[in-house]
Structure 1
Amino acid sequence: MRTTARRAATLGLTAVAVCGSLTGAAVAVPSAPAPSLYAPSALVLTTGHGNDAATATPERAVTLNCAPTASGTHPDPARACAELRGVGGDFSALKTRDDVWCTKLYNPVVVTVQGVWQGQRVSYERTFGNSCVKDALDSAVFAF
């Protein structure tokens, strides 16, 4: 019986010695940053020659991120994001300039947009009669 009592006491003291050092003062651990409070806006814009995206020969693609800040491979992301915010992300609301005259030569150019705008899925496609008509948009969104 004495051996059992001794073993129990030894085990108890060992547990206190090992675990007691673990119960020190609480240490402040830095918390993770707060979740972002903006809806994501990340787009891939493409351009190519053809009647529609399925048959067009792709020529160029750029990325455009508008939240939290304007960035991406687009040549002027800040201006493009500002213009998209101005039309509420409605690509069809981008207006054509009145002071540009283009030929009637039909050489179709198709632009596409895929991604997310302010948390909503976006899929847009538009075919212009030629590159002059595309460049006549009063916008930097498709100027790449």
Structure 2
Amino acid sequence: MIWSKPPSRTILCVRLLLSAIFLFYGSVKLLGGQYYYGDWTISKSTADGTSLVWAFYGYSPFYGRVTGLFEFVPAVMLLFRRSAFAGAAALFAVSLNITLMDFGFDYPMVKYFAAAYTALCAFLLVRDRAKLTAVFRDPAVEESPTADRRG
């Protein structure tokens, strides 16, 4: 079957890899790195997309640090089996945003890494698709045992 569960070692490796990556990036942001903080003057005619984004996120040090928190906390959650699904779901949303931003502002090679991280988060979510469908299932709608299943 194409969707059979991969070996738990594979899952563990993916979780540890994503956790290490997002712990690093989250820590950098929490410590005040990556974004352009302070005084700056920017012009659309002279600034590239990368500089524009770093200046925008750095405009508010609070916001810059919160973006780091949104990477750091789910990365920690990936380290524990009980919270790994929620961590993967949160990092999927974060990494999808990063991927769209990287492609939208034409970042260099890192946009492909971001896309790979998003795909790995999706892999973890699909692996636990029973939990994923349970999130969206309406418990008030019970399927009748006599319901017609022919569709």
TM superposition score normalised by structure 1: 0.23
TM superposition score normalised by structure 2: 0.22
Q: Which has the higher helix share?
A: 2
Q: Which has the higher strand share?
A: 1
Highest CA radius of gyration, 1 or 2? 1
